[in-house]
Structure 1
Amino acid sequence: MCKVIAIANQKGGVGKTTTTSNLGIGLAKMGKRVLLIDADAQGSLTASLGFREPDNLDITFATILANVINDEEMEDGYGILKHEEGIDLLPGNIELSGVEVSLVSVISRELVMRSYIEQVREKYDYILIDCMPSLGMITINAFACADSILIPVQAAYLPVKGLEQLIKTIGKVKRKINPKLEIEGILLTMVDNRTNFARDITALLTEAYGNRVKIFEHSIPASVRAAESSAEGVSIYRHDPKGKVAGAYMSLTEEVLTRA
């Protein structure tokens, strides 16, 4: 059984891409077959995995979605790139913005991504989708085909307050399009454990959402190492294997596996 997890937050800069790549590679290290999908027009996931010029790639996720819309046949593995750390990647780039606009006039526009996922699902144990920092049509497509949504939230007051809109949107998609959709959990990122502030934010989250949404036991500490690993095109496990961020992401991976 393949599990599809969308990693989403309409606010940027909360660690969505870093979480997608390190959770995906963590799952691969545990022997799972993993596909990462870069569903963000900025192509950050693609670049952070070492494919430096996403906008120059011939075949990307935008190509796949356009082919689905136009009912064009695609061969097995079409557009998928192999990464040296054991995961498959469907890259994204700026062309996704154009596809998002064109989706407005497509029949069953919320289900275009789902029809692709159904074609590749049996080849993988996990498919992780790195969503845009918005609640536009591509993100709604991701919610419509996902089994669950993992929400990274920066340990700060305003990002936590902004969760309400995202949770409402998830609820609406669950009611109208995808009844099996669940929230995988809220993941606190960029946590500075030396401060009381981080503990206050955790308490605020638990008070506001703890009875409705799982909050992951393990948070991701603030560290320049995570940014460095993205710049080098490798995971935190390879860049700083003994560091606290690698340990935190491996603990997160184990938590996700227990919920499979």
Structure 2
Amino acid sequence: MAEIITVANRKGGVGKTTTTLNLAYSIKELGKKVLVIDLDPQANLTRCFDVENLENIKTIGHLLMAELEEEENYSVKDYVISYDKIDLIPSSIYLSATETQMRSETGSERILSEIIEPVREHYDYVLIDTSPALNILTINALCASDSVLVTADTQMFAVVGINELLKTVQKIKKRVNSGLKVKGILLTMCDNRTNLYKTLTEQVEEMFQGRIKVFQTKIPKTVKVGEAIYSGQSIKKYAKDSSVDVAYDNLAKEICYE
């Protein structure tokens, strides 16, 4: 039975998509079966799985709409693409239209849960990439998940968005999904040569000590990450055994063997 993990933060540019992509590859390397769901209309994660012609494929937006409109006899597997032995439910700009429709529907925060529940037995992990907003899509992801992995960069505003997200997590845990927990906070874009990195890392660890786990693994700042994303590849394919590849392997071990 899969553990469902949402990767989230209200702040953009903190490594959500990069983490979802590379964590999926590292978990797969441990022999686990992984499903990735791109729940961002920008579809950046989808493009990293070499998906082209987004206008002509079935995506998470179409799948959510099928559930929303209570279509009969649709199959989730018809929306799944397999790439490098990782399963993906892709996204496209159509998800924006779906989001608009969902906002006007009663109980729409549970739609993704109803979609995932029948297929979770076929996987070890389901990873959900979200947009940098606490919208109905992100709320759906949190309602469907067992845990949330919070990414935060080690720039000046490292903790911006974390507290707002944590408040939302608590509300969802209280009202909708009592089993939801915070998997941990992952620090990304870490440059251990700078005093700012050391200061902000200490700040985050002190702020959440004893309350929320801060992963021992820190994702280093390197141009290879941007180059890999630009070329539409995982870091494991673009720069295997690099420092950032090793870091995501270590993160996968922290998550899978905690």
TM-score calculated relative to the size of structure 2: 0.96
Aligned residue pairs, count? 257
Does residue 216 of the first structure (1) align with residue 192 of the second (2)?
Answer: no
Runs of 4+ aligned structure 1 residues displaced above 4 Å come to none
Does residue 79 of the first structure (1) align with residue 79 of the second (2)?
Answer: yes
When structure 1 is superposed on structure 2, of 124-133 and 96-105 the one drifting more is 96-105
Q: Which residue of 2 aligns with 1:167?
A: 166
Listed as ranges, the matches of 1:70-149 within 5 Å are 70-72=69-71, 73-75=73-75, 77-84=77-84, 86-149=85-148
Q: Which residue of 1 aligns with 2:232?
A: 233
Structure 1's 76 and 166: CA in aligned 2 closer, same or farther, altered over 3 A?
A: closer
Report how far residue 238 of structure 1 moved. 1.5
Q: Distance in 1 between matches of 2:158 and 2:64?
A: 31
When structure 1 is superposed on structure 2, of 161-170 and 215-224 the one drifting more is 161-170
Q: Distance in 1 between matches of 2:147 and 2:57?
A: 30
Note the aligned Cα RMSD (angstroms): 1.2
Q: Distance in 2 between matches of 1:232 and 1:206?
A: 34
Any unmatched runs of 5+ in structure 2?
none
Q: Which residue of 1 aligns with 2:20?
A: 20
Report how far residue 28 of structure 1 moved. 0.9
Contact 1:80/1:89 (<8 A) preserved: yes
Query: C-alpha deviations, 1:68-111, integer Å up to 9, x for none?
Result: 01111213511111112x20110011111111111122231110
Q: Which residue of 1 aligns with 2:50?
A: 50
Contact 1:189/1:220 (<8 A) preserved: yes
Does residue 66 of the first structure (1) align with residue 65 of the second (2)?
Answer: yes
Report how far residue 4 of structure 1 moved. 0.1
Any unmatched runs of 5+ in structure 1?
none
Q: Distance in 2 between matches of 1:47 and 1:245?
A: 20
Report how far residue 36 of structure 1 moved. 0.3
Partner SS for 1:5: strand
Q: Distance in 1 between matches of 2:76 and 2:43?
A: 23
